[in-house]
Amino acid sequence: MLNKTIGNIINRVVTNSYPEKSKAVPENLRGRPEVILESCSGAGECARACPTGAISLNPWRIDLGKCVFCGQCAEVCPSKAIKLTHDFELAARKREDLVVGPKGEPVEAELARATALQPAGTAANYPPRLLQPPEEQSQEAAELAGPNPAPAIPQSLPLPLLTLSPKRRALPMSLTNPGSEGDLEVMENHLKERIGRLLQRSLHIRHLDSGSCNGCDWELTTLLGPVQDIQRLGLDFVASPRHADLLLVTGVMTRNLTIAAIRTYRAMPEPRLVVAVGACGCSGGVFTTNYAGGGGTDTVLPVDVYIPGCPPRPQALIHGLLLATGRLEQHKKENLKAGS
């Protein structure tokens, strides 16, 4: 740390140039899991160990919107066929695009949608002994369960009945639920293109914490520091939603914050964007759907870009914000021209 501080004083410039130039990532960075199918034994230990049910088998695929990048899948794999890459540029415009194959390749559309609809933390990913009825459990498990064991967890859970695919069941008060009172916000392709043209060089962001652990929030604070400095990209945070072009939502959509989220969104001038940040914002994460929360951001608000991670690193946040404004494609074209 001392050497780095001295180097910054000598060089005087500490701000990185991402996305123009990619900075070397730390060796211990946990990015997208990758699988070597030739070495995979098919035991399914990775799927059972996943705390959010992000991994599905036959065929092997992972939902990055649910993944918390804990590394449990790589640790328990008996054949060591899973490794965590350094790939953190994982933001996507559609929820089903976060479902990828062993090498990060896209998955067939219908399969991806069905996987994204599956609630996080499904019963299929509990340890096998917890799925067995009490009379079939081992003596040790029965003793741990006590005199009044809990009822057996079902082998599978029914998918929620949805009116808007590929979103999960919307909360009763929701802008994405056509059966709810109020207006239904539909973002058509031509409107998204117009938003991209209008907001490419100047984007004001309003952050909304709908129920996070503050992990993603801490990463957001670094965006305004001297190292990331997103103001160099024309991006900035504002205090009022009436001045904002983009709503950046962190955390699971808790029921007590639903009305506040809707009012914040409606207070924003059009055109407006919504970006869901982190595993909780994308799918509900480890909290999934319970008595206090209704899942990810898209259960209440129409989401334009999903940024997975737990939490996503600052460069991943910048990547998602540029994707939301359409500037990522522009950067890629400029890099190709420079390379040619």
Q: What is the pLDDT of residues 12-67, one digit of tens each?
A: 667 887 877 776 778 888 999 999 988 888 888 999 999 999 999 889 999 999 99
Cβ-Cβ contacts under 8 Å for 189 (sequence gap 6 or more): none
Task: Report pLDDT digits (tens) over 234-251.
Answer: 889 999 999 999 999 999
Q: What is the pLDDT of residue 338?
A: 62
Single pTM value for the model: 0.75
Name all domains of the chain by residue range, CATH numbers in brackets: 29-118+120-156+163-167 (3.30.70.20), 189-339 (3.40.50.12280)
Cβ-Cβ contacts under 8 Å for 93 (sequence gap 6 or more): 304, 305, 306, 323
CA angle 185, 98, 249 (to 5 degrees): 50
Round to whole Å and give the CA distance between 80 and 61. 17
